[in-house]
Amino acid sequence: MDLDELLGSNGDSGVRKRRRRQTQDFLRPYIAAKLEFLPETFVLGDGKTYNSFYNKPLPGQQQYRTFILAALKDRDSMFTVSPYSDPMMVKLHSGMSHHVEDPEMLWVMGPVLAVVLIIIIVITILLFKRYYYFTEKYDQSSSTEIVFHPLFLPAGMREHPPISVCALADHIERLKANDGLHFSQEYESIDPGQQFTWENSNLEVNKPKNRYANVIAYDHSRVVLIPTDGIPGSDYINGNYIDGYRKQNAYMATQGPLPETFSDFWRMVWEQRASTIIMMTRLEEKSRVKCDQYWPSRGTETYGMIQVSMLDTVELATYSVRTFALYKNGSSEKREVRQFQFMAWPDHGVPEYPTPILAFLRRVKACNPPDAGPMVVHCSAGVGRTGCFIVIEAMLERMKHEKSVDIYGHVTCMRSQRNYMVQTEDQYIFIHEALLEAATCGNTEVPARSLYTHIQKLTQVSPGDTVTAMELEFKKLANSKAHTSRFISASLPCNKFKNRLVNIMPFESSRVCLQPIRGVEGSDYINASFIDGYRQQKAYVATQGPLSETTEDFWRMLWEHNSTIVVMLTKLREMGREKCHQYWPAERSARYQYFVVDPMAEYNMPQYILREFKVTDARDGQSRTIRQFQFTDWPEQGVPKTGEGFIDFIGQVHKTKEQFGQDGPITVHCSAGVGRTGVFITLSIVLERMRYEGVVDMFQTIKTLRTQRPAMVQTEDQYQLCYRAALEYLGSFDHYAT
């Protein structure tokens, strides 16, 4: 088949005329190959046959121009043709070796959206695999071969090539220069990708199915449902296929389902054999509905032809995992689908740190079966946070295989498949920061069964180093320094005297706020931070040992935030210095501002003292019991030799919390509220995760704590203790019941 026959079969006379005009000075064009999948390298003139097309050898001493035609599979009427390349001279040399005269010429050999490779649907959809460039090719035969290497390079992508992982930090610093000017320019230069049709989204029968009028599903990449006879528009859902890294249609990006689209959503999950749903929003944010609850809270619900049964729900601090069983009417097949709902994305903007979403991505990847259909990803509109998730996940894969990232190119590609993907500049910047953290920190998660071997490796000195891997890992925690703007309230003149140490202050974003007292400046401040637990947000309050000037604030904090368990990890004096003011009465009741504190009981245990107090609000007479656990076995210098006693202590604290059923956080303090306090909270999280998931990630756990309060787990000795205690815990999983 020659080119005119092919174009004739597609019925586009304009393309035929344009091609004829361009070929007046050349021999008749012909098709060298038809490809179903894009190869790593394509050799023009290799003498092979590709889907009935003969890729004939190229005679020497002639000029050649090449072009590519791409068409959608099973839809020959949808195709595009690239422009001609510049002329290339194939010269004949002595020894019968041949080469292309212009080795630096760029050429189009492009990616994929469900296409038959003669090569792509519309040029902007080619963006996924980057450019192919000519290289010299020498051959000892009498025929000449021209070698193509990966890919089409539009103008914007030529200016923003992939970045190697080792250069990523410097690249981001350059983009941040001049108050982020280069980030703004780069983001704004990305093709918005709105040159495609969305006729199905605009049909009157389908308009009510779109959550937002301006967020539509392009026709060429939309997820097409199996139509129901007699129901117009029954093949429509506002969702598009999105390519991943080296994987076509790896995702289905869609909006948060509406009540009228619940059945369509579950039909899509069933028809596409999806095993994983990613939900990047809460149901409500800022008192506005972002997504309707499309799943049953318990039991079974029927959505059209699909029955969905709730099997299990696991709620963690930053995300929830729900497991459903799906059944289709008329089928005996049962399928299991997991939904991962990320809940740590703030109502406005982007997360302050990427650590939680990277942990979320690791969990998702570990749970998604390799033979599953496309992953369903949605937020509210299905473009902003959804786009962030997809880019980060795809680029993490690229980093693993190619040691580079192509954020600009991947966002451009996604926008040719669904409009507005990665909706804001802040989201674009956040993607960079997430990938930088992943590149810098690596994957430090290990199965619990491998913890001993892992610790053995960490305690060894690597070749060429003078310190252990454990020390290097701990030093990585200190790489990021917090800007002074993060300590706004703590730095106010009226609050400075309330900080025990000038360099240990709470971040503004996570500080515990007290109810302000009218006319008293700074009365809402205490040096204390909310810390997320394994399962619950704000499960702990990490605070300094109270000063005499802040004792009243301390009791006010306990009352206002309903904290009825206090953990004290220091003596009042150590090494001849005050570490904590005695903030409780020893024998008779004492009043601290509004609160009367009565000592009720004191129990001396081998490693700790338990004190019980009755606290009464003098304003209205309400009272509650507050229990204080003081650990007495921590040496004044260094750390405990073994973690076993401390593990038992952690277990007793949590048992008491569960026994008395209080909803408020556990308040933990030492002297500065970061060192021993950090160890207590770290082990509380790590041990619980070990029990439920069978994995340990000490580094990321502490890194997450440090995003909520600086310097948590303050010394390398404390860091080693965390590992040692976790290892000691492995043999005794019954320390505290669930």
pLDDT band at 33 (very low <50, low <70, confident <90, very high): confident
Residue 158 or residue 125, greater confidence:
158
Residue 413 designated active-site = no
Dump pLDDT digits (tens) for 445-499: 999 999 999 999 999 997 888 899 999 999 999 877 777 789 999 999 999 999 9
Q: Identify the pLDDT of residue 29.
A: 74
What are the tokens at 478?
């200190």
Please tell me the least confidently modeled range out of 32-41, 565-574, 576-585, 636-645: 32-41
Residue 149 exposure: Cα atoms within 13 Å on the Cβ side: 8
Q: Is the dihedral of CA 115, 120, 121, 124 positive or negative?
A: positive
The amino acid that residue 421 corresponds to is M
CA distance 5 to 379: 46
Of 451 and 104, the one with more pLDDT? 451
Confidence tier at 51 by pLDDT (50, 70, 90):
confident
Least confident interval from 19-23, 152-156, 717-721: 19-23
- 320-347: average pLDDT: 97
21 pLDDT tier (thresholds 50, 70, 90) = very low
Evaluate whether 191 touches 412 at the Cβ level (below 8 Å).
yes
How many CB atoms are located within 10 Å of the residue 425 CB? 14
- What pLDDT is stored for residue 253 in this prediction? 99
Pick the CATH number of 172-443 from 3.40.50.1820, 1.10.3720.10, 3.10.400.10, 3.90.190.10: 3.90.190.10
Q: What pTM, to 2 d.p., does this model score?
A: 0.80
Tokens, residue 601: 């009981």
Mean pLDDT: which of 14-18, 101-105, 415-419 is highest? 415-419
* Gap between the Cα atoms of 220 and 202, Å rounded: 14
Q: Cβ contacts of residue 20 below 8 Å, gap of 6+?
A: none
Q: How far apart are CA 713 and CA 506, in angstroms?
A: 15
Query: Which sign does the torsion angle of CA 563, 567, 572, 576 carry?
Result: negative
Do β-strands 695-696 and 446-447 pair in parallel, antiparallel, or remain unpaired?
A: antiparallel
The confidence score (pLDDT) of residue 288 equals 96
Determine what percent of the chain is predicted with pLDDT higher than 70: 82
The mean pLDDT of the chain is: 87
Q: What is the pLDDT of residues 159-214, one digit of tens each?
A: 789 999 999 999 999 999 999 999 999 999 998 867 789 999 999 999 999 999 99
- Closest C-alpha to 499, from 706, 637, 713, 671: 671
Sequence-distant (≥ 6) Cβ neighbours of residue 294 within 8 angstroms: 257, 262, 265, 266, 303
Among 379, 388, 580, 722, the active-site one is 379
The span from the CA of 410 to the CA of 156, in Å, is: 12
All structural domains of the chain with their residue ranges: 3-153, 172-443, 449-729
pLDDT at 580: 99
Q: Would you state the pLDDT for residue 463?
A: 82
**Is residue 90 very low, low, confident or very high in pLDDT (cuts 50, 70, 90)?**
low
Sign of CA dihedral 568, 569, 571, 574: negative
| Domain pair 172-443 / 449-729, same fold | yes
Residues 277, 337: contact at Cβ < 8 Å? yes
Q: CATH assignment of 449-729?
A: 3.90.190.10
Does the annotation mark 670 as catalytic? Answer: yes
Give the C-alpha separation, 50 to 712, whole Å: 62
DSSP label at residue 487 = G
Interval 56-84: pLDDT, tens: 888 776 777 777 777 666 555 555 666 66
Report helix, strand or coil for 222.
strand
